Structure 1
């Protein structure tokens, strides 16, 4: 089941970004999913679901947005290495 959400976007946005409304909506979903994953709000699988793509495609998209697929802070990683 899905719910449709409507947002108002200036018409000029599509020409500025050189995209169609449909492609813009898909890119917006992906950008939101990536950001919410990056800040730890959702998991990879939920982010991929939100973006409407597979988890493998989501992992590829993370690279395009320069976001690490790992949700570990440098401090957490150092603690894991130290405790190993």
Structure 2
């Protein structure tokens, strides 16, 4: 069964994995997880499978890599900053 989650719920899914973990294992374990983004959706397993890393030592390391693999428009609107008010 496919699960659809928001980006801020990714940590809960990743914390279920046994670390250290390889990208291919994440791809298999998370192939049923779709992440809803600000501008579209991505499959968690397929996204992590695109990583060049050989292994992730912790959920934090995997989360950092995942964020770098997401499309630029994944969060909020591009070129907008709430800090410049």
User: TM (normalized to structure 1)?
Assistant: 0.28
Greater relative contact order, per chain length (Cα 8 Å cut-off, separation 6+): 2
Which structure's residues are more often helix, by fraction? 1
User: TM (normalized to structure 2)?
Assistant: 0.28
Which structure's residues are more often strand, by fraction? 2
Q: Which has the larger radius of gyration?
A: 1
